[in-house]
Amino acid sequence: MSADGRPPRMKALLLKMLKRYSRAQTLNEERDLPMNNPRIEGPVLSRRTLIRVAGLSALGAAIAGPMLSNGTAFAADAEPAALPVPGMGGIPDGPSTWGWNAPELLDFDPATSPWARHLRCLIPRAPRIDHFAPTQAHPDLSPATQLSTLTFDDAGSLYRARNQAIGLEPYVYTQRYWSYIDVWGPWHGQFIPSIPEDVVASGRKGFGGVMDIPNPGWVEAAHKNGARAIGGWFWPRGTANFDDFLVQREDGSFPVADKMIEIKQYFGFDGFFINQEATITKAQVDKLFAMFRYIKQQDSDFYLQYYDAVIWNTGRLSYQNTLNATNVGALGTPGDRVIDSIFVNYAWPAVDRGAVKGTATARAAGLEPTDVAFYGIEMQKGGFNPIEDFGTLAGPGKDPTVSVALFVEDNYWQTAAEGGKVFTVDERRSYRDYERKMWSGPKGNPAESGRLEQSTKPGRTDIMNTRVWDGIAHWIVERSAFSALPIDYNVNIGVGSQFRLAGAQVSDRGWDNQGIADRALTWQYWTEGDLAVDLDETDAWEGGHSLAVSGSGILHCFKTDLTIRRAARARVRVQGDVRVEVGLTLRSAPDRIVWRPMERVETTAGWAALDATLPALPGERIARISLRVAGSGRIGGIQIAERATTDLRPAAVSGLTVSDEGLAKHETVLRNVSFTWNLEKSASAYDVLQATDAGDRWLGRVQRDAFYALSIDLEQGRTFRVVSIDAIGNRSSATAVTLAG
């Protein structure tokens, strides 16, 4: 290891990658690239200027976003614009998502697609509980305002043209603020599957698909927390023929629409963001919206968000920057809905001050403005100081008018990755702090959100100044899917530089898998008193993180609407000198917290278990669960479950198979190994481990019936074990399988 904690080989490759990226960027700047996105093959449009921002990963991909009507373009595409560093990009080993044009979509068959089984989300979207103002961080904040966001679901990754759902990259960004998100979608482009490795690795453009499915791990995380996860539709794109998407059968059905519904249902996501951003003919747009209407008729739960760009009944590209008579028809009527919501373009502060026009237009159409009008904030360029100030429309004590749409709010992470600033634990700690301030406000406490000073600089400058930013929690009421026991939280955020089970390190490899993140804490971090709480990557009870705590005070953890019908056990895992009580807030008495003392019952691998009995409370509804903390150390897990279930074990897996998938890329020893098994009804997740002389080594965790293990040294052992895990974290006996040698 080098002095900064990076393996020497990886550090050298990363430095090489960054030098080549910097060189490519310099050349691009010297050339003053054309007035359109270089990855879109359509005509150069007048008034468009390229914004070269974010999107490095290993491929050095330059990402852009929806266009502004004032002439600054953020055109939709994300194919690589710079040559990849050898060994640090191209097509990843094993399962990866891809782009879809009409031919690829129509040919898709999950039975013959090699990795389709590995890319499914099998977790249904959790219902969210009703809002309850007394336990909100801001009791006077309206819950009507919604939030959608388009983000990099691979920020920092070395793979962009083909997205890797499960990898070995501890520096990849993962989302942990799902309690503020209603609709999430990815912002990137991907190559169609027929494009070979050498072309992907070459950085050539023109091979992206019109459609992308979302990263299945992000879909799993969204669904656990009750949010929608949608894919992307981007036009123009590469060499695709738009008319191929619009074919209609004599019976009125659309082959492409039927396939869109099929992949939505098979892969388990919720719909599409439609970024239609080039003029088409009236005949084409009429057919397109007939297809959207057909989709809604066939699958009413198919969510469609439409970018404020191409007019729904003319086909003309014309940004309205509000909801008005020109674009409201895209939504349909209350009795015949087509599009669910519109992402309003960014010039709304000038065009529709106060969102007065958009609100009136929606209501005149018989629609609820906060359901259909999402006013955009360009955060890829604006960071913490965007031009668009949604604080003028929403906040504590304000009546809601419209909802908000964020564009690439995680760009700070991608930019840091481009600069080589997220490759150590200390570096990531700094940018997780930016993330916390992005969502919870400049003080990092959602109950104390709101800007600390007014910006004196123009929007889209001074973009990392967190003091001029309200925080999302200042506009959006926290949502929750905690409607019943059990609750099992181990500070797993879906990424880490190591993995621990019961406090013991079972893997020293970095890893990323957004899908296995725990249901998020509702607030991060709502504290009262003199208590400091921070995310800690240096140790964990289970997974890759814990909470570092110091001082004394209250940590509000979970917004709930649940009943304790039978006696329950609350257990908190702590390390160090940490004393804890657990507190319940009842809906019948929301101004009072009922505290229960916790007693130390056992210690494992340096982690103590603090337990408290929660008596049955028939007829009472628990509105919030909090901890009262004193001391200094770490919290590694919070578990609340009925006592009758705490010692049950899920069934062991059956039907386990293992296959040698060959050498890993650029390796002469390490091999890839895939597994399949039968799903168990009592299991919510599965750990895959390699039996070695030094003990079981963790290879990964999934919530489906297949796993692809990367870069395995079979000389360490050819026997593997799969363990079922239930909703409380109880583990089954292991099922073993040996790979023939």
3-class DSSP state of 412: helix
Question: With contact defined as beta carbons under 8 Å apart, do 625 and 588 qualify?
Answer: no
Task: Give the whole-angstrom CA distance, residue 613 versus residue 369.
Answer: 46
Cα dihedral 572, 573, 577, 579, rounded to 10, equals 10
509 pLDDT above the threshold of 70 = yes
Chain segment 512-549, per-residue pLDDT in tens = 999 999 999 999 999 999 999 999 999 999 999 999 99
Ranges in the chain annotated CATH 3.20.20.80: 99-474
b/e code 640-654 from CB counts within 10 Å (16+ = b): bbbeebbeeebebbe
Question: With contact defined as beta carbons under 8 Å apart, do 234 and 193 qualify?
Answer: no
Task: Give the whole-angstrom CA distance, residue 22 versus residue 85.
Answer: 12
At 188 the pLDDT is: 84
Task: Give the whole-angstrom CA distance, residue 528 versus residue 555.
Answer: 7
At 355 the pLDDT is: 98
Residue whose entry in the numeric block shows the structure tokens 């198979």: 657
Ranges in the chain annotated CATH 2.60.40.10: 654-738
3-class DSSP state of 381: helix
Chain segment 542-556, per-residue pLDDT in tens = 999 999 999 999 999
3-class DSSP state of 510: coil
Q: Which of 382, 249, 239, 233 is nearest to 309 (CA)?
A: 233
At 18 the pLDDT is: 45
User: Is residue 590 packed enough to be buried (19+ CB in 10 Å), middle (13-18) or exposed (0-12)?
Assistant: middle
Question: With contact defined as beta carbons under 8 Å apart, do 120 and 236 qualify?
Answer: no
Report how far apart, in Å, the C-alpha atoms of 271 and of each of 105, 304, 403, 406 are: 15, 6, 19, 18
Local confidence band at 354 (pLDDT 50, 70, 90 cut-offs): very high
Q: Which of 216, 144, 248, 94 is nearest to 712 (CA)?
A: 94
3 pLDDT above the threshold of 50 = no
Euclidean distance between the first and the last CA atom of the chain, given in angstroms as a whole number: 32
Tokens matching residue 437: 């301030």
Task: Give the whole-angstrom CA distance, residue 581 versus residue 515.
Answer: 30
Chain segment 19-36, per-residue pLDDT in tens = 444 433 333 332 222 222
Task: Give the whole-angstrom CA distance, residue 348 versus residue 337.
Answer: 24
Angle at alpha carbon of residue 617, lines to 615 and 618, rounded to 5°: 140
pTM attached to this predicted model: 0.90
- The secondary structure of 172-233 as a DSSP string is S-----GGG-SEEEE----B-TTS-HHHHHHT--S-B-SEEPPPHHHHHHHHHTT-EE-EEE
At 238 the pLDDT is: 84
Mean pLDDT of 226-252: 97
- The secondary structure of 140-189 as a DSSP string is TS-TT--EEEEE-TTTT-S--SS--SSBS-TTS-----GGG-SEEEE---
3-class DSSP state of 617: coil
Task: Give the whole-angstrom CA distance, residue 130 versus residue 627.
Answer: 23
Task: Give the whole-angstrom CA distance, residue 125 versus residue 103.
Answer: 30
Report how far apart, in Å, the C-alpha atoms of 539 and of each of 320, 445, 648, 681 are: 50, 23, 28, 32
Local confidence band at 198 (pLDDT 50, 70, 90 cut-offs): confident
At 437 the pLDDT is: 99
Report how far apart, in Å, the C-alpha atoms of 324 and of each of 330, 332, 358, 404 are: 11, 13, 6, 17
3-class DSSP state of 390: helix
Query: CB-hemisphere CA count at 13 Å for 604?
Result: 17
Of 10-19, 178-187, 596-605, 625-634, which range is least confident? 10-19
130 phi, psi to nearest 5 deg: -70, 150
User: Which residues lie across from 401 on neighbouring strands?
Assistant: none
706 pLDDT above the threshold of 80 = yes
221 pLDDT above the threshold of 50 = yes
At 88 the pLDDT is: 52
Q: Which of 520, 509, 515 is nearest to 494 (CA)?
A: 515
The fold for domain 99-474 equals: TIM Barrel (3.20.20)
Question: With contact defined as beta carbons under 8 Å apart, do 587 and 621 qualify?
Answer: yes
Tokens matching residue 242: 């738009």
439 phi, psi to nearest 5 deg: -95, -40
Task: Give the whole-angstrom CA distance, residue 519 versus residue 224.
Answer: 6
Task: Give the whole-angstrom CA distance, residue 289 versus residue 282.
Answer: 11
At 50 the pLDDT is: 24
Task: Give the whole-angstrom CA distance, residue 542 versus residue 490.
Answer: 6
- The CATH superfamily label for domain 487-642 reads Galactose-binding domain-like (2.60.120.260)
Tokens matching residue 216: 């299945």
Ranges in the chain annotated CATH 2.60.120.260: 487-642
Class of domain 654-738: mainly beta
At 85 the pLDDT is: 35
Report how far apart, in Å, the C-alpha atoms of 295 and of each of 103, 254, 301, 328, 700 are: 19, 9, 10, 19, 37
Report how far apart, in Å, the C-alpha atoms of 338 and of each of 16, 242, 243, 260, 359 are: 49, 20, 20, 15, 19
Question: With contact defined as beta carbons under 8 Å apart, do 344 and 333 qualify?
Answer: no
39 pLDDT above the threshold of 50 = no
Task: Give the whole-angstrom CA distance, residue 93 versus residue 106.
Answer: 25
Residue whose entry in the numeric block shows the structure tokens 């770490």: 634
Mean of per-residue pLDDT scores for the chain: 90
Cα dihedral 515, 9, 7, 547, rounded to 10, equals -30
Chain segment 433-476, per-residue pLDDT in tens = 999 999 999 999 999 999 999 999 999 999 999 999 999 999 99
Which amino acid, one-letter code, is at 563? T
Chain segment 563-591, per-residue pLDDT in tens = 999 999 999 999 999 999 999 999 999 99
Chain segment 369-391, per-residue pLDDT in tens = 999 999 999 999 999 999 999 99
3-class DSSP state of 663: strand
User: Is residue 557 packed enough to be buried (19+ CB in 10 Å), middle (13-18) or exposed (0-12)?
Assistant: buried
4 pLDDT above the threshold of 60 = no
Mean pLDDT of 607-632: 98
